[in-house]
């Protein structure tokens, strides 16, 4: 009897997908960590270009290279048109090839469901769907122009998309349940309306003129204190109404159109997310194209999972675990800050593939307790062990056990510098940590000879009192107690340690015994280290003398990625 019950439980769990939960999100202090096979996991990722997983030969040639690039995860699109080339006729060849290649190359996979929408458009819908526009209607502009964007208000569109997604999810659940290669799923890609801020189809107009659903109104009232400031402002400006149409509650402007549209997209996605959760339980997310460069809704993909719409998305799609920014624009660190919220962990599924990616990876883990980062079109990157991303990812793989153990404790900072943002002072407990771009060293000619400043970035981890890890690339770090920083002004010193003539050259007249026993910190030791898989530090070499400016600072030159173990000491 007991065996029979146990077997029934087994079958039920297997059918619900719960047995196969290799990957989940969990809280650790203030951080949300991704846990894979019960170990915290930092995604050192890369996303394939859009057309790079559309034949088995390309997958076979690309995946071994990704392993050489030191990725631990690849983000790969699944194309609806190739998955269901004829209505009801499914082909999972590419999916299986991706799973096999990932497994062989020791990579985890984040699948991207390119279903009804990819960058707003419906270009990945199969041709049989596109042709049957009466059954699968389009969104319309205000002037009545049909768009190549399937209408989110059509139940037929949803059913076709969801049916394909569900068949594919079933396949993945079966194919992956023992290996657990798939660690997350992104639903659709950069959803959003273009040309106009909302759909003007007949169904959309009817919904727009109807009262706001009570589910959303209740959510707004219940979460009033936590709403995103821009949403709160719109609601406040229009008198905090508890019911009414979209325009009555939020006013008559493009941003109201956007809120309305976001609600529809979120509810649509929620139903796909429920399909995924029922079938194979891994974390689920949606990605957004940024609303940058002062563009208005409709000029950017309106209503996507953007930070200012987080409440709409969270209420409409509670099964989605987080919203993710695709960061291509300038202002990388500002975008990161917008998506690292108490109710939203930072994961960057796409960022431009560039020399700065290595430094940025250190920054996001140090400053934002990020789940991961993933440059786009990764197969175009270099697998040379000297390339910035490969060096950075290798060091981060070593650091991962330490970073994971410190996430959510407030003991880490990330720094990211370029020619404009050269310096940051971190004010923590009794310490002032001043970090700068490496080229700020006054004797480094590259600061002034017209060289481009590659971004310098790193992580500073406080392991304990007066003990730090400083790791990354292209940074210089100084430590001081707050009291000593208040007492003395820093003087610009040359490489030999002499004061630079003409720079800060007015001597400070200090009165006798001015310091009165104020403690100072000095650099005790700086060791370059490796980190073993259990998190233990392994000595490589001692850095001292010229390499620490005779004990004045800790530094990692541009072009090198190192992990430094720093011990400070106090003296009076």
Q: Which one-letter DSSP state was computed for residue 344?
A: B
Q: Which of 54, 93, 53 is nearest to 76 (CA)?
A: 53
Shortest spacing between CB 413 and ligand DGJ, in angstroms: 29
Nearer to ligand DGJ, 376 or 561 (CB): 376
* C-alpha distance from residue 357 to each of 79, 280, 520 (Å): 27, 32, 36
Nearer to ligand DGJ, 190 or 257 (CB): 190
Cross-strand partners of 23: 36
Shortest spacing between CB 161 and ligand DGJ, in angstroms: 18
Shortest spacing between CB 384 and ligand DGJ, in angstroms: 24
Q: State both tokens at 477.
A: 């770090």
199 lines the binding site for ligand DGJ (CB under 6 A): no
In the range 375-394, which residues lie near ligand DGJ by CB under 6 A?
A: 376
Q: In three state form, how does the secondary structure of 495-561 look? A: CCCCECCCCCCCCCCCCCCCCCCCCEEEEEEEEEEEECCCCCEEEEEECCHHHHCCCCCEEECCCCC
For residue 244, what are the contacts with CB-CB under 8 A and spacing of at least 6? 211, 212
Nearer to ligand DGJ, 311 or 350 (CB): 350
Element (H, E) at 116: strand 108-118
Q: State both tokens at 270.
A: 């929620």
Tell me the residue nearest to ligand DGJ as measured from the CB: 190
* C-alpha distance from residue 551 to each of 199, 523, 544 (Å): 63, 6, 7
Q: Which of 185, 175, 17 is nearest to 99 (CA)?
A: 175
Report H helices in 200-345.
202-208, 214-222, 229-237, 246-250, 254-279, 310-316, 332-339
Shortest spacing between CB 217 and ligand DGJ, in angstroms: 32
Nearer to ligand DGJ, 80 or 376 (CB): 376
Shortest spacing between CB 288 and ligand DGJ, in angstroms: 9
In the range 447-506, which residues lie near ligand DGJ by CB under 6 A?
A: none
Nearer to ligand DGJ, 123 or 405 (CB): 123
Q: State both tokens at 131.
A: 């042709």
Shortest spacing between CB 396 and ligand DGJ, in angstroms: 24
Nearer to ligand DGJ, 304 or 456 (CB): 304
Nearer to ligand DGJ, 380 or 570 (CB): 380
Q: Which of 49, 119, 122 is nearest to 81 (CA)?
A: 122
- Binding residue for ligand DGJ (CB under 6 A) from 326, 367, 418, 478? 326
Shortest spacing between CB 351 and ligand DGJ, in angstroms: 10
Task: Report d(CA 61, CA 80) in Å as an integer.
Answer: 23
Could you tell me how many residues of this chain bind ligand DGJ (CB under 6 A)?
A: 7
* Window 12-41: contact mask with ligand DGJ (x via CB under 6 A): ------------------------------
* Window 336-355: contact mask with ligand DGJ (x via CB under 6 A): --------------x-----
Task: Report d(CA 321, CA 318) in Å as an integer.
Answer: 7
Task: Report d(CA 47, CA 374) in Å as an integer.
Answer: 6
In the range 145-184, which residues lie near ligand DGJ by CB under 6 A?
A: none
| HSE-up of residue 236 (Cα within 13 Å, Cβ side) | 9
Q: State both tokens at 401.
A: 């056990």
Nearer to ligand DGJ, 349 or 472 (CB): 349
Nearer to ligand DGJ, 176 or 326 (CB): 326
Task: Report d(CA 238, CA 245) in Å as an integer.
Answer: 12
* Window 405-444: contact mask with ligand DGJ (x via CB under 6 A): ----------------------------------------
Nearer to ligand DGJ, 376 or 393 (CB): 376
In the range 76-135, which residues lie near ligand DGJ by CB under 6 A?
A: 119
Q: State both tokens at 27.
A: 């809280």
Shortest spacing between CB 572 and ligand DGJ, in angstroms: 56
* Window 41-70: contact mask with ligand DGJ (x via CB under 6 A): ---------x--------------------
- Binding residue for ligand DGJ (CB under 6 A) from 84, 188, 190, 311? 190
Nearer to ligand DGJ, 192 or 316 (CB): 192
Task: Report d(CA 426, CA 504) in Å as an integer.
Answer: 23
Shortest spacing between CB 225 and ligand DGJ, in angstroms: 34
Nearer to ligand DGJ, 81 or 462 (CB): 81
Q: State both tokens at 521.
A: 């910190």
- Binding residue for ligand DGJ (CB under 6 A) from 23, 83, 120, 189? 189
Query: Which residue ranges make up the site for ligand DGJ (CB under 6 A)?
Result: 50, 119, 189-190, 326, 350, 376
């Amino acid at each position: 009897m007991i065996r029979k019950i146990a077997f029934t439980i087994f079958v039920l769990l297997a059918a619900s997908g719960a047995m196969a939960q290799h990957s989940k999100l969990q809280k650790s202090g203030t951080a949300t960590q991704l846990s894979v096979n019960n170990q915290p996991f930092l995604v050192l990722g890369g996303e394939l270009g859009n057309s790079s997983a559309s034949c088995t030969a390309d997958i076979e040639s690309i995946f071994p290279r990704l392993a050489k690039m030191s990725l631990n995860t690849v983000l790969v699109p699944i194309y609806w048109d190739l998955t269901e080339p004829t209505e009801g006729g499914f082909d999972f060849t590419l999916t299986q090839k991706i799973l096999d290649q990932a497994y062989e190359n020791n990579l985890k996979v984040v699948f991207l469901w390119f279903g009804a929408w990819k960058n707003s458009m419906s270009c990945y819908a199969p041709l049989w769907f596109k042709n049957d526009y009466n059954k699968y209607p389009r969104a319309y502009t205000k002037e009545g122009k049909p768009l190549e964007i399937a209408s989110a208000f059509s139940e037929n569109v949803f059913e076709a998309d969801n049916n394909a997604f569900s068949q594919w999810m079933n396949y993945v659940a079966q194919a992956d349940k023992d290996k657990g290669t798939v660690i997350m799923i992104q639903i659709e890609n950069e959803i959003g309306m273009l040309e106009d801020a909302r759909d003007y189809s007949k169904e959309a107009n009817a919904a727009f003129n109807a009262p706001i659903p009570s589910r959303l109104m209740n959510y707004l009232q219940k979460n009033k204190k936590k709403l995103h400031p821009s949403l709160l402002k719109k609601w406040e400006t229009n008198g905090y109404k508890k019911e009414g149409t979209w325009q009555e509650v939020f006013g008559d402007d493009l941003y109201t159109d956007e809120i309305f549209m976001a609600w529809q997209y979120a509810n649509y996605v929620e139903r796909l997310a429920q399909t995924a959760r029922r079938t194979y339980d891994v974390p689920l997310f949606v990605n957004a194209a940024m609303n940058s460069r002062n563009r208005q809704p409709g000029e950017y993909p309106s209503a996507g999972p953007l930070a200012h719409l987080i409440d709409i998305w969270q209420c409409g799609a509670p099964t989605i675990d987080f919203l993710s920014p695709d960061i291509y624009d300038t202002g990388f660190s500002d975008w990161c800050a917008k998506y690292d919220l108490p109710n939203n962990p930072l994961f960057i599924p796409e960022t431009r593939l560039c020399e700065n990616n290595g430094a940025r990876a250190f920054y996001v883990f140090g400053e934002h307790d990020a789940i991961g980062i993933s440059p786009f079109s990764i197969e175009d990157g270099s697998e040379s062990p000297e390339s910035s991303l490969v060096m950075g990812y290798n060091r981060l793989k070593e650091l991962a056990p330490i970073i994971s153990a410190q996430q959510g404790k407030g003991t880490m900072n990330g720094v990211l510098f370029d020619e404009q943002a050269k310096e940051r002072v971190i004010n923590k407990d009794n310490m002032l940590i001043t970090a700068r771009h490496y080229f700020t060293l006054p004797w480094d000619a590259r600061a002034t000879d017209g060289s481009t400043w590659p971004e310098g970035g790193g992580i500073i981890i406080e392991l304990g009192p007066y003990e730090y890890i400083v790791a990354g690339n292209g940074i210089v770090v100084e430590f001081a107690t707050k009291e000593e920083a208040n007492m003395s002004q820093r003087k610009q010193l040359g490489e030999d340690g002499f004061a630079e003539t003409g720079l800060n050259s007015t001597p400070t007249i200090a009165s006798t015994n001015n310091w009165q026993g104020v403690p100072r910190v000095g650099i005790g030791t700086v060791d370059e280290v490796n980190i073993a898989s259990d998190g233990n530090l392994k000595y490589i070499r001692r850095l001292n003398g010229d390499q620490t400016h005779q004990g004045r600072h800790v530094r990692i030159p541009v072009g090198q990625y190192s992990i430094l173990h720093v011990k400070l000491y106090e003296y009076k």
